[in-house]
């Protein structure tokens, strides 16, 4: 848009129309005539048309630079618009990531608050280990054998208590090692005992025991 309020497109179209009309009139003025008066008039007309054409050519040059600047400005505007669209896309992704991070932090804080609350309750309602043992002893009175357990069953199967019993430990392979009760055993005697135990373990095979001896190993005396 020019200062006069006319768009560059309309100004260019009007200028080209005037330029085309001036060129046509100039060419028509060169038509031969025998009248002297007509020749003089045609010469003056050609001078006027030539001046108009020169003026219109200057206007076209100015319009050319204006149009060129307008196109360059439009190109920069398109680049800026693309950058704006890219920035908008980045802002949307950033906002989405921030929202997801906020949601994750709120969830973590909620879990941490629950853990802190549970810890505080545990500190306020501390239980003595004696109370826990007393409660466990009460529960042990209500335990029972498996439903298919039979007192006449000879084989203990895969059933085994979750804790060792003294009788079962005495019936284990360690029972083959002679008991040493002396507290004054020196280092040499301890090494001899270690060698004896190792040799006994190396020489011991399950094949050396009878079937009855293997069955006599009480793995779970409570089931006898």
Which residues neighbour 222 within 8 Å (Cβ) at sequence distance 6 or greater? 161, 165
What's the rounded mean pLDDT across residues 185-196?
56
Residue 179 lies in a domain: yes
- Name the range with the highest mean pLDDT among 37-41, 58-62, 168-172: 58-62
Contact call for residues 63 and 12 (beta carbons, < 8 A): yes
φ and ψ of 143, to 5 deg: -80, 155
* Percent of the chain residues past pLDDT 90, beyond the cut: 24
What's the total number of domains in the chain? Answer: 2
- Residue 124 has a pLDDT of 81
Structural domain harbouring 178:
163-224
- Residue 163 has a pLDDT of 57
Residue 86 lies in a domain: yes
* Percent of the chain residues past pLDDT 70, beyond the cut: 57
Is the pLDDT at 217 greater than 50, yes or no?
no
Nearest residue to 60 via CA among 25, 21, 8, 24: 8
Is the pLDDT at 18 greater than 80, yes or no?
yes
Q: What is the Rg, in whole angstroms, of the alpha carbon atoms belonging to the chain?
A: 56
Residue where a domain stops, chosen among 65, 93, 123 = 123
Instruction: Kindly report the pTM of this predicted structure.
Output: 0.38
39 and 118 assigned to the same domain: yes
* 39's tokens: 């020749």
99 and 183 assigned to the same domain: no
Return mean pLDDT, the chain. Answer: 74
34 and 85 assigned to the same domain: yes
- 141-160 confidence digits (pLDDT tens): 666 666 676 656 555 455 55
């Amino acid at each position: 848009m020019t200062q006069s309020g006319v768009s560059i497109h309309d100004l260019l179209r009007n200028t080209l129309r005037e330029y085309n009309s001036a060129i046509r009139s100039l060419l028509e003025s060169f038509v031969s005539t025998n009248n002297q008066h007509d020749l003089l008039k045609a010469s003056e007309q050609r001078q006027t048309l030539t001046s108009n054409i020169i003026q219109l050519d200057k206007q076209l040059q100015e319009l050319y630079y204006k149009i060129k600047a307008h196109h360059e400005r439009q190109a920069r505007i398109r680049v800026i618009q693309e950058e704006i669209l890219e920035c908008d896309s980045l802002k949307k992704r950033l906002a989405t990531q921030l929202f997801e991070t906020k949601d994750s932090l709120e969830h973590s804080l909620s879990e941490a608050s629950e853990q802190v609350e549970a810890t505080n309750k545990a500190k306020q309602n501390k239980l003595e280990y004696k109370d826990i043992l007393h409660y466990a002893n009460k529960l042990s009175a209500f335990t029972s054998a498996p439903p298919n357990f039979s007192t006449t069953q000879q084989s203990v199967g895969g059933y085994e208590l979750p804790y060792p019993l003294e009788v079962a430990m005495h019936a284990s392979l360690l029972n083959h090692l002679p008991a040493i009760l002396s507290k004054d055993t020196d280092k040499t005697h301890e090494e001899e005992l270690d060698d004896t135990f190792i040799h006994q373990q190396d020489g011991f095979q399950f094949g050396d025991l009878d079937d009855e001896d293997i069955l006599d190993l009480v793995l779970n005396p409570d089931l006898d």
